[in-house]
Amino acid sequence: MTATRSLDGRRYRRLRSAARAVGTPRSVPDERSGDPDLLALVAAPYTDVDAVHEGLGELLSAFEARDDRRAVFLGIYARMTAAVGRRIKRGAFADPAWVADYLVAFADRYRVAVRAFEAGDADALAEPWSLAFEAAERGDSLVLQDAMLGVNAHINYDLALALDDVGVGTDRAAKYADHCAIIDVIAGLVDEAQDGLADRDADGLATLDSALGRFDEWLTVTTIDECRDSAWRTAVAMDSRFRTRRRLARWLNDRTATGAAHLIRGSQASGTVHGALVDLEGSAGE
């Protein structure tokens, strides 16, 4: 009983700390001239599925060449986007044209975030992305944290906005079915994504993955599925005829994703805990 109360107390303190962080003045990127080659890669909007595939691939190569930790998330996202693109071309969705527009709008949200951070444009950069990119730039977070911060910013923040961009008002049931079908693509790539993270100086993740069996894959897919469903509900609220509901949905979308980013970064509040996790993540488990 005492151990349970202690665990609940730690959870409460973490949640309270994240809530306070959400209420503090937002972080902004440092003023910078930006890498001209990176800025060139994200200068123009993506126009179609092929442009997304090419654009994300070029950006990933540029990040990897610079040893830029933003490659941790982008490696996962580019792989997933390519898989969805292949399914679109096979006609695996009820409305492939809408899914294609959805994929492009979603990827373009990421492109805009990278451009804003690289250019030091605080007004154009959402707080969840600012927190994710700043952590990647410092390079002192866990590889798993870099991945989770990117996933949080893109799914918990960008996804509802991308859905609103392409519209969910007409043929909503069919669109929702196509939206849900994408989780099958994600589920099929979880093992590959975990292997990719383990290859990035995080050998300990492979040991942990083996110890957990299929539980971690199930938990990852279930969590992402719920986040995607929440994004759909937010997009529906943004489509409301009531202005107050639309504004509240956008505010909650921003605050929820920002709070989640602070929670993901929570281990860094304790140098001892964070150091132990870094050692665990980098251990080859020999």
For 196-205, write each residue's pLDDT tens digit: 665 665 555 5
Question: How many domains does the chain contain in total?
Answer: 1
Which stretches within the chain are classed as H helix?
A: 2-23, 36-41, 49-65, 71-89, 96-119, 127-138, 143-151, 159-166, 172-198, 203-212, 215-238, 243-264, 271-282
Nearest Cα residue to 221 out of 242, 190, 177, 199: 190
Rounded CA separation 46/51 (Å): 6
Residue 83 counted as domain residue = yes
Rounded CA separation 204/278 (Å): 9
Confidence of residue 268 (pLDDT cuts 50, 70, 90): low
Residue 18 counted as domain residue = no
Domain containing residue 58:
31-278
pLDDT digits (tens, 9 = 90+) for 133-150: 999 999 888 888 999 999
Contact 88, 140 (CB under 8 A): no
Residue 19 counted as domain residue = no
At residue 232's C-alpha, the angle toward residues 226 and 233, to 5°, is 90
Percent of the chain with pLDDT over 90: 66
Residue 3 counted as domain residue = no
Confidence of residue 266 (pLDDT cuts 50, 70, 90): confident
Residue 284 counted as domain residue = no
| Distance set, CA 104 to CA 49, 166, 182, 251 (Å) | 6, 9, 14, 24
Residue 110 counted as domain residue = yes
Rounded CA separation 286/273 (Å): 22
- pTM here is 0.82
